Structure 1
């Protein structure tokens, strides 16, 4: 099934270089849409992403938009690109993802979901947050991806933590790393965390795993929320996907005073649990999911903290990965005892 899906996606023998994005994107568009007059194409780089380089290509006469994404430098260390393609093909068939037009040697070209990208504040908008809860419940209930249906969460973290270098090539980055991190203790912490969270037996479902504000789209005409960017999608714990979204209410600046209160979380969780059922959930089920989610918020901090430690050495994206790792682990340790005690 894996090979069949990949072979069905048009493949271009092209590279989109990070220092020549527009010309690279133009070559991809010309190959995929030979009927288009290239003079009718306009290009805009989206700079919010912190893993890849992204160009929006708009065909003037039809208004069709195609996103050409060049993978981040050495991002294959972090991301399973074959899994990502499978995710997109299957999600597209379910109407949960735009079409995948083709792949090239270091990236993908795919459709654009109409609407406005969320701002951080939109995540806590009373109406929009319920739209996200509803859509995530649909994802968790409807999506089945071929392959093993066990959680990849801790397998992924263990894989990433092995990629953290002993020392960093940039002195400033190394200085911050040496001041804040002891890898022996971090490995021990991961073992403790995994043992505690696996014992909760949170249901394993297909998860987005990266529901930050930039991956949420609000379509006003449909009054609905949509998810984009599926490269981290995999089977994982239901509670992790929800917890990760709640952590992202803090934005890249990690303003954790915006982490949702218990009352707000319970409102969100009720909406999530109601989807596909004729009656609202009882309070005991809401309370149980609340406890699971906040415990898995710790795994979210660990996941992205280790991710940032790896990216700090590999990536050429303009983002302060090492300070971000410090912020994520600071919040992990600040909330650890409180959340473990729930």
Structure 2
């Protein structure tokens, strides 16, 4: 599955080459000494404002500001299902003043698209936790369960929204297709907020969204949850009544991780600085609030442990969406 955004991503790397050289020359901002001192820190969000990645990036930036006393400015660099933002970030090689709010696209893009990076191109700092998704439909939909969706896909077809061609949505719908021997008609959007608009506007019939993105619409009745693509039912009161896909005979559960990374080639001092700041953030009320408000599963990992998780998760993804 080759993305039509491949040329954009590769072009972005080329255009940013001089910027990357500048960033490398600027280095970690430690003035040549042993101590790393962050300067003009940028948190790149490779998706549009309003979605789960944007919420994650802003929460992390705020938490790191509290932990370090530094200003962390959030930049949304959307396009190419995340490829534009990741390619811009690749050009910051060696610059410890750049961070990126990472998720499944970090692993899926290199497996499905001709981009110039993989997860090994960057420096893993922190995995905050796991974010499962819900399959949702408009409140007046003909579907009440995910079984209804599967049955319809076998007969007259179902139009499904995906927030990018290599997103978590794409992964879970592919897993459902393989498990149930069906095919969805996909309509790609750039982010979760656009998927919600497509559902409410009748452009698509079903979507896969993180609970934090869609809770308001579920509570208002504008949208309804058909199943949760999680191992077990949520313990959060707002979601506890939603059956899992497995309860409905669909053997699919897959979580998107939320975390942040630094560019490749940064100094050990810069890497340790951000890991220490991440651990301080994880002990804060702000971290607990982020996890609970976004209905996630807390499961933090740092540095090399996060890198091991990425390697294992990439191998699992390759079996599903690999080239």
Q: Compute the TM-score of the two structures, normalised by the length of structure 1.
A: 0.30
Structure number with higher helix proportion: 1
Greater strand fraction, Structure 1 or Structure 2 = 2
TM-score relative to the length of structure 2: 0.31
